Amino acid sequence: MKKQKLWFAMSLGWLLTLLSSTASAAEGVSEVFNSINGVMANVMFFDVFFGAFGDNTMPFIIAWLIVGAVFLTIRFGFINLRMMGHAFQIIRGKYQVKDAVGEVTPFQALTTALSATVGLGNIAGVAIAIIIGGPGAIVWMIIAGFFGMTSKFTEVTLAQMYREVRPDGRIMGGAMEYLSKGFAEKGMSGIGKVLAIFFAILTIGGSLGAGNAFQVSQVVGQVKNEIPFFANGNEWMVGLILAIAVGVVIIGGIRRIAHAAEAIVPTMVIIYVSTCLWIIISNMSAVPDAFATIWNGAFSLEAGFGALIGVIVQGFKRAAFSSEAGIGSAAIAHSAATVKYPIRQGFVALYEPFIDTIVICTMTALVITITGVYNSTDPSIVSMIENKEGAALTAEAFRTSISWFPIILTISIILFAYSTMISWSYYGERCWTYVFGESFTLVYRLIFIAFIVIASVTSASSILDFSDLLILTMAFPNFLGLYLLSGKVKVALTDYLAKLKSGEMDREVGR
471-479 mean pLDDT: 88
Q: Are the CB atoms for 509 and 89 separated by under 8 Å?
A: no
Structural contact between residues 389 and 130, judged by C-beta atoms closer than 8 angstroms: no
* Region 154-173 average pLDDT: 84
395 or 492, higher pLDDT: 492
Give the mean pLDDT of 341-361.
Answer: 87
| 188: pLDDT strictly greater than 80 | yes
294 — pLDDT class (breaks 50, 70, 90): confident
Instruction: Report residue 25 CA to chain centroid gap.
Output: 29
pLDDT at 363 over 80: yes
Domain ranges across the chain: 6-59+120-509
Name which of 13-27, 88-102, 120-134, 353-367 the model is least confident about: 13-27
| 213 touches 32 (CB < 8 A) | no
Model pLDDT, residue 483: 92
Would you state the pLDDT for residue 22? Answer: 44
What pLDDT does 59 receive?
Answer: 79
The larger pLDDT score, comparing residue 220 to residue 187, is at: 187
Q: In this predicted model, which residue has the larger pLDDT, 501 or 404?
A: 501
What is the arithmetic mean of pLDDT over 69-76? 93
Per-residue pLDDT reduced to its tens digit, 407-450: 777 777 788 788 888 888 888 988 998 888 877 888 888 888 88
325 vs 150: CA distance, rounded Å: 8
Share of the chain above pLDDT 70, in %: 80
Q: How far is CA 386 from CA 84, 281, 400, 406, 409, in A?
A: 40, 30, 20, 20, 21
User: Residue range 124-134: average pLDDT?
Assistant: 77
Strand ranges, E, within 154-283: 164-165, 171-172
User: What pLDDT, on the 0 to 100 scale, is given for residue 508?
Assistant: 67
Q: Residue 199 has what pLDDT?
A: 93
Mean pLDDT of 294-304: 73
Check whether 362 has a pLDDT greater than 80: yes
User: How far is the C-alpha of 81 from the C-alpha of 117, rounded, in Å?
Assistant: 21
Please check the confidence at residue 279 and state whether its pLDDT lies above 70: yes
Is pLDDT at 125 greater than 50 in this prediction?
yes
Question: How far from 398 is each of 128, 366, 408, CA to CA, in Å?
Answer: 16, 11, 10
Task: Say which CATH architecture domain 6-59+120-509 belongs to.
Answer: Up-down Bundle (1.20)
More confidently predicted of 100 and 208: 208
Which residues make Cβ contacts (< 8 Å) with residue 225, sequence separation at least 6?
Answer: 392, 395, 406
Mean pLDDT of the chain, nearest integer: 78
Confidence of residue 509 (pLDDT cuts 50, 70, 90): low
Neighbours of 150 (CB within 10 A): 30
Q: What are phi and psi of 499, to 5 degrees?
A: -65, -40
**Where does 324-456 have alpha helices with state H?**
330-334, 342-349, 351-353, 362-371, 379-386, 390-399, 405-436, 441-455
pLDDT of residue 26: 45
- For the stretch 232-251, pLDDT in tens is 767 778 878 888 888 877 77
